[in-house]
Amino acid sequence: MNKEYIFIFSGSGLMKKAISVLLAVMMVFSFAACSDTKQKESNKSATENVTDKKVDFSAELTDIPEGYKEKVKSGSLPTEEIEHNHDGHTKKAVVYLPPNYDAKKRYNVLYIIPGYNGNHTVIFGNAEEDTMFKNVLDNMISNGDIEPMIAVTPDFYTDSKERLNQDNFDYLVNDFKEEVTGVLIPTVESKYSTYAKSTSKEDLIASREHRAFAGCSMGGAICWELLATETEYFYYYAPTAAGSFEGFNKNYGKVSDKLRNNLKKLNYTKNDYFVFGTDGTKDVTYDNMQALIKGFKSDDDLFTFTDDNKSEGNITYKIQKGGEHKYKYMYKYLYNALLAFFGE
């Protein structure tokens, strides 16, 4: 089986029907196996449906420089593994520290969650073995492309049984949101040097402009949920290769409706968050993402589209021609998102 593929969570599981891992795998590869003709027609139709709203998605995504995939010459630090307790369970997260991390300095923080079959080691590896994307991030920081930052990858599931039994998935999503804001962020930002003066709710909210959340596939759908309901904790959002849960389960409601209600409660405006969304034309999530973005074009009170200039809008959506549901594309999407979020 090709490890390059990101496993997605199928729609039927989100409708509280138990599914097996086999179905999730079959969904990925059955979509990927569609004929070129049907795929092109579907992609063309989806693109036209969005671009007829006069949004320019023609701006190219920047390729990761080949040299960035290699280890930096000096300063790189091994990742660290931390534990936090939530709801009677002990869960793990991998913490990436920038080259030459200095506890006397303050750092931006990226929280990132992978897809359905990923765990806390997928993005950055562990202390014994780095991943390609860890090298990319080291090089981006060492070369001054982005401000030095901390990155955190938690587990979504408590154990494998939870992954296989999706009857309580609604609960898991809502519980995870509580875990991120109430346990994970305070655990990380009490141990490492960030812009939060303390881990009180007030100080975490006050430092939100230095905090981002990213997710791929199922993690991307969680990213949309956090934008809609936990806006006060993050300023930047990078949902990659993912529609929202509303596309699978009506119980989740529309992202725009929940976001609108939350902004009213918080007294925020659309100037208080920035979204960098990405997907590929051959990705199995493409149609769902397109439909979501098209809907946002009618939400003028929530979104102003821009190529990636934060001073001109609050949402960017870029399409990778030929992009598939694979980690190599997700890494490219994250590379571009981080340039937009924390570029120097």
Where in the chain are the domains?
Answer: 11-342
Q: Structure tokens of 273? A: 């968050």
pLDDT at 334: 96
Surface-to-core class of residue 37, CB atoms within 10 Å of its CB (0-12 exposed, 13-18 middle, 19+ buried): exposed
Residue 168: per-residue pLDDT: 62
The CA distances from residue 131 to 17, 71, 236, 334, 342, in Å, are 35, 10, 24, 14, 21
Q: What does the block give as tokens for 164?
A: 């296989």
Angle CA(187)–CA(188)–CA(189) in degrees, nearest 5? 100
In the CATH scheme, what is the code of domain 11-342? 3.40.50.1820
Q: Distance (Å, rounded) from C-alpha 180 to C-alpha 198?
A: 16
Q: Strand 211-216's sheet: what is its strand order?
A: 80-86, 89-96, 149-154, 108-113, 211-216, 236-240, 274-280, 315-320
Q: What is the pLDDT of residue 122?
A: 84
CA dist 49 and 52 (Å) reads 6
Q: What is the CA radius of gyration of the chain?
A: 19
Supply the pLDDT for residue 172.
Answer: 75
CA separation, residue 258 to residues 6, 14, 21, 251, 265 (Å): 28, 18, 30, 12, 11
What pLDDT shows up at residue 338? 97
Alpha-carbon distance 344 to 326, whole Å? 28
pLDDT at 156: 80
Q: Which residues contact 10 (CB under 8 A, 6 or more apart)?
A: 19, 23, 24, 27
For 68, other C-beta atoms within 10 Å of its C-beta total 20
- Cβ atoms 216, 117 nearer than 8 A: no
Mean pLDDT by 10 residues, the chain (344 residues): 45 36 33 36 40 49 94 92 83 94 98 80 79 94 97 79 55 84 96 97 98 94 94 97 74 83 97 96 92 91 85 91 93 96 91
What is the pLDDT, as a whole number, of residue 312? Answer: 86
Q: CA 33 → CA 11, 13, 14, 283, 286, distances in Å?
A: 18, 22, 23, 11, 15
Per-residue model confidence (pLDDT) at position 141: 98
Q: What is the pLDDT of residue 207?
A: 98
Q: How many CB atoms lie within 10 A of CB 60?
A: 10
Structure tokens at 131: 């991943």
Q: What is the separation of C-alpha 306 from the centre of its chain, rounded to a whole number of angstroms?
A: 19
| Per-residue pLDDT, 169 | 64
